[in-house]
């Protein structure tokens, strides 16, 4: 079945990873309407973070751990995933023997849909790049919403030039060629200790990254909208000089 599913992407696939390492091709995704409603919310990740806490779900990564390369960006979209592990050979050996590099991000983009968010699990290896300038260009051209990289990225000037949203563990000039190997596409990954499944909703802004399990997306959206409406009402009352008693009826100060 997977071979049949891959057939429709053969014009984009570059053969960077064995087909049997592509765990899934067709994945569930939140509706475009739900994504649009999330995007319309200001102060998004802090509010959603509170909602996830209330649901008892560990799903938030601060910007101190995964930092935005370009400030001021906000993305919302379904996750597609890639997992890297360290290469057993040394870089010197790889170059001297013209070994095949085993980075496979372009094949991840190939089977993704416009608006997806590629999530890279590189084990937090911030000193080693798993995304460079050409990778960023392909991601941009093929309509990815932005990348979440638990690892290093390079060609930072290209990322700025393309104005492409990226959150990463580190910035580095050191290539991942002959240092890491793509072991799986569209499997379950872990970034900064947070589990991510293909199709989970990824939200990222200047404050950090939140992963919402796909089966919780609509519930989290409704709770987030309700929380934003309450907070906005408090802001309006504060601006009008309302009393503490009036404010507490909307939202107790202990929950601000």
Secondary structure of residue 10 in the 3-state scheme = coil
Beta strand spans in 71-116 (E): 75-86
State pLDDT tens for residues 186-232: 999 999 999 999 999 999 999 999 999 999 999 999 999 998 888 77
- What gap in Å lies between CA 44 and CA 217, rounded to an integer? 14
The predicted pLDDT at position 231 comes to 72
- Per-residue pLDDT band for 155 (boundaries 50, 70, 90) equals very high
- State the Cα torsion 46-105-18-122 to the nearest 10°: -50
Taken as a whole, the chain contains a residue count of 256
Secondary structure of residue 183 in the 3-state scheme = strand
What residues form DSSP beta bridges with 233? Answer: none
What domains lie within the chain, and their CATH numbers? 2-214 (3.50.30.40)
Of the chain, the percentage scoring pLDDT greater than 90 comes to: 84
What residues form DSSP beta bridges with 85? Answer: 181
């Amino acid at each position: 079945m997977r071979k049949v599913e891959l057939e429709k992407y053969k014009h984009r696939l570059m053969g960077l990873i064995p087909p049997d390492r592509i765990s899934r091709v067709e994945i569930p995704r939140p509706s475009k309407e739900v994504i649009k409603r999330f995007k319309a919310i200001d102060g998004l990740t802090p509010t959603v973070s509170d909602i996830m806490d209330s649901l008892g779900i560990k799903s938030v990564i601060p910007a101190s751990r995964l930092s935005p390369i370009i400030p001021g960006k906000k993305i919302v979209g379904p996750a597609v995933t890639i997992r890297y592990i360290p290469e057993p050979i040394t870089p010197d050996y790889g170059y001297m023997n013209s070994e095949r590099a085993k980075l496979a991000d372009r094949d991840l983009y190939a089977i993704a849909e416009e608006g997806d968010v590629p999530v890279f699990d590189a084990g937090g290896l911030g000193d080693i790049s798993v995304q460079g300038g050409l990778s960023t260009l392909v991601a941009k051209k093929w309509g990815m919403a932005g990348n979440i990289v638990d690892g290093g990225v390079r060609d930072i000037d290209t990322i700025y030039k393309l104005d492409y949203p990226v959150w990463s563990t580190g910035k580095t000039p050191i290539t991942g060629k002959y240092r890491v190997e793509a072991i799986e596409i569209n499997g379950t990954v872990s970034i900064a200790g947070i589990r991510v499944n293909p199709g989970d909703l990824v939200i990222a802004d200047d404050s950090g990254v939140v992963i919402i399990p796909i089966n919780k997306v609509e519930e989290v959206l409704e709770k987030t909208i309700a929380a934003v409406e309450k907070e906005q009402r408090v802001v309006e009352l504060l601006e009008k000089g309302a009393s503490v008693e009036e404010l507490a009826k909307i939202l107790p100060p202990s929950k601000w």
